[in-house]
Amino acid sequence: MSDVKNSSMNIVIRIQIDKTQITFSDIAKEIGEAGGDIVGIDVISSSKTHTIRDITINVNDQKHSHLITERLKSIEGINVMSVSDRTFLLHLGGKIEIQSKNPIKNRDDLSRVYTPGVAQVCKAISEEPNKAYSLTIKRNTVAVVSDGTAVLGLGDIGPLAAMPVMEGKAMLFKQMGEVDAFPICLDTKDTEEIIQIVKSIAPAFGGINLEDIASPRCFEIEKRLKEELDIPVFHDDQHGTAVVILAGLINALKLTGKKLSEIKVVLTGIGAAGTACAKILIGAGVKNLIGVDRNGALHRGEKYSNPNWTEFANLTNPDNLSGSLSDVIEGADVFIGVSAPGILTVDHLKKMANDPIVFAMANPNPEIDPELAEPHVRVIATGRSDYPNQINNVLCFPGIFRGALDCRARVINEEMKIAAAEAIASVVSENELNETYIIPSVFNQKVVEKVREAVIKAAYQTEVARKDPLRVESQLS
Ligand SMILES: NC(=O)C1=CN([C@@H]2O[C@H](COP(=O)(O)OP(=O)(O)OC[C@H]3O[C@@H](n4cnc5c(N)ncnc54)[C@H](O)[C@@H]3O)[C@@H](O)[C@H]2O)C=CC1
Ligand SMILES: CC(=O)C(=O)O
Ligand SMILES: [Mg+2]
């Protein structure tokens, strides 16, 4: 597959210019000739003979960045002081911080927020643990927990390297859903140890968002934590992804006029996201779904070391097809990829039924380059923000947790997930719906609002809510 473009590849080159030797327009010409696109210039300092400027340049990739830098270094009168990638700059010192709601201005404040005043509050919670919801951060705080073993599509890169993703999730929780989320990356891959650690830290949190934990371990961890904790536990890569896929599919099928019950779906990557996606689609009415992993289609009669795959094969593939992706893609109406980059080809697309729908969601690089796929499909969606139709679990997790926290749900159940998917789909009106707009933008403010409301209603109807904020809100309005 050709490398999918990376729109965030902007570099900032800080240079000192000897004005007696070279002008800025000469420098701009050099950068232009090397194929760089100057998108910003900042003057850092200036004297009679020298200026220091930060030049922001859009480049194709690291190699291109290196080429431009070397070219500038070779020019008389230019001193290249530093080169930084804007993405890296955004990560300097981490992306989030903790802030106090009130300043401690004097001794009196100190004695209230801390000892001795705080002791009364501690005692009140000790006598009535439920008060933790009103007197601590618990009611609005979620732990984003990872072991760093399935980070995006990068695989097992470890807990330290997983932190930037978890910090990013925390930012999204806050900005989109006003939920305070805290990244916790664990230096263990032991299922029991992860369960014990999450249980031990749970008192501080109103919910647990599991993230980027490899399958099949993630299934046992989530199942046990759901059973053993009284706060919602939600593996985002499974359920957040599944919810958004269902939302996108509901709308894409409106364009092709096909029904969930009639379509043939080929799903690649039967890991965390793939398993949950299959379950939600089958629950929503899909009858013909075939799962494909590294060794081909999952089918009955094969002995899989992964028990999850045996269960998967039993629930799917009604015609019990075997073989490779090329074999089973024949006549498929929908392809969904949550697997690996570049595994879907144009030849595969040509074998699909009319009006193919392709959700190529591997991150950061999808199963097929959208530009390659576009001429051969009716709808193409990816997990990326630089193409139309971004199917990403960020459309789900802020709103689903906002709703679950507000109604103090004990769990996030199937009914709440389906309600969330329908709410996301409903944000795109019939008038707006088209091939490049099947799913609302991540920045559409209606998404969180609608998901929250739908989730609260479903929680209430299924009797897992411990509070009914919608009733209070309707009384107030
Ligand atoms: N757009 C979105 O919102 C989301 C995208 N994803 C992406 O989906 C992918 C999978 O994520 P998880 O399910 O969390 O990981 P996972 O590690 O649990 O599952 C990945 C599965 O893909 C399979 N796989 C790898 N190479 C394959 C190939 N060549 N052909 C068929 N199957 C192959 C693996 O064997 C594994 O079963 C990642 O790239 C991730 O970034 C995951 C969650 C959300
Ligand atoms: C989006 C996301 O959660 C992932 O790619 O893992
Ligand atoms: Mg993830």
Ligand 3 center from residue 6 Cα (angstroms): 19
> 362-371 in b/e burial notation, b at 16+ Cβ within 10 A?
bbebbbbbbe
User: What's the CATH number where 128 sits?
Assistant: 3.40.50.10380
Residue 242 Cβ inside 6 Å of ligand 1? The answer reads no
pLDDT score for 387: 86
User: What's the CATH number where 263 sits?
Assistant: 3.40.50.720
Residue 5 resides in a domain: no
Both 325 and 431 in a single domain? yes
pLDDT score for 1: 43
Both 219 and 86 in a single domain? no
Backbone dihedral angles phi then psi of residue 59, each to the nearest 5 degrees: -125, 165
Packing angle of the helix pair 414-426, 446-461 (nearest 10 deg):
150
Both 204 and 261 in a single domain? no
Is residue 237 annotated as involved in ligand binding?
yes
Q: What is the DSSP letter of 365?
A: S
Q: Given 29, 73, 114, 123, which residue is catalytic?
A: 114
Based on the structure, what is the number of domains in the chain? 3
Packing angle of the helix pair 272-284, 414-426 (nearest 10 deg):
80
Residue 305 resides in a domain: yes
Ligand 2 center from residue 156 Cα (angstroms): 14
- Of 197, 231, 265, the position where a domain reaches its end is 231
Q: Which of 294, 306, 327, 328 to mutate to test the pocket of ligand 1 (most atoms within 8 A of CB)?
A: 294
Ligand 2 atom closest to the CA of 236, numbered from 1: 3
Residue 365 Cβ inside 6 Å of ligand 1? The answer reads no
Both 81 and 173 in a single domain? no
Both 310 and 395 in a single domain? yes
Both 257 and 316 in a single domain? yes
User: What's the CATH number where 81 sits?
Assistant: 3.30.70.260
pLDDT score for 89: 87
Backbone dihedral angles phi then psi of residue 418, each to the nearest 5 degrees: -65, -40
Ligand 1 atom closest to the CA of 393, numbered from 1: 3
Is residue 105 within 8 Å of 68, Cβ to Cβ?
no
pLDDT score for 86: 83
pLDDT score for 286: 97
Beta bridge partners of 176: none
Q: Which domain holds residue 165?
A: 122-231
Residue 209 resides in a domain: yes
Integer CA distances (angstroms), 239 to 124, 195, 218, 258, in order:
37, 19, 12, 24
Both 337 and 476 in a single domain? yes
Both 340 and 390 in a single domain? yes
Q: Given 138, 169, 417, 457, which residue is catalytic?
A: 169
Profile the chain (477 residues) by mean pLDDT over runs of 10 residues.
54 95 95 94 92 94 93 96 89 96 96 96 97 97 98 95 98 98 98 98 98 95 98 97 98 97 98 96 96 97 93 97 97 97 98 98 94 97 90 97 98 96 97 96 95 97 90 70
Neighbours of 152 (CB within 10 A): 15
pLDDT score for 62: 86
Rounded Cα distance, 10 and 12, in Å = 7
Both 293 and 396 in a single domain? yes
Rounded Cα distance, 98 and 137, in Å = 12
Both 168 and 128 in a single domain? yes
pLDDT score for 4: 46
What is the interface pTM, i.e. ipTM, of the complex?
A: 0.98
Q: Catalytic: 169?
A: yes
Rounded Cα distance, 460 and 196, in Å = 30
Q: Catalytic: 114?
A: yes
Residue 103 resides in a domain: no
Both 151 and 79 in a single domain? no
The two three-digit tokens of residue 26, written as one number:
């000469």
Residue 106 resides in a domain: no
Q: Which of 166, 209, 339 to mutate to test the pocket of ligand 1 (most atoms within 8 A of CB)?
A: 339
- Of 91, 112, 135, the position where a domain reaches its end is 91
The two three-digit tokens of residue 427, written as one number:
């944000």
The two three-digit tokens of residue 336, written as one number:
């969904």
Residue 115 resides in a domain: no
Is residue 244 within 8 Å of 338, Cβ to Cβ?
no
Residue 109 resides in a domain: no
pLDDT score for 477: 65
Helices (H), 427-468: 446-461
Is residue 333 annotated as involved in ligand binding?
no
For β-strands 233-235 and 207-210, DSSP reports them as parallel
Residue 169 resides in a domain: yes
Positive/negative CA dihedral, 371, 373, 377, 380: negative
- Of 231, 263, 279, the position where a domain reaches its end is 231
Sheet holding 357-360, edge to edge: 296-297, 288-293, 264-268, 334-337, 357-360, 379-382
Ligand 2 center from residue 450 Cα (angstroms): 22
Residue 215 Cβ inside 6 Å of ligand 1? The answer reads yes
Q: What is the model's pTM?
A: 0.89
Both 142 and 263 in a single domain? no
Is residue 406 annotated as involved in ligand binding?
no
Is residue 108 annotated as involved in ligand binding?
no
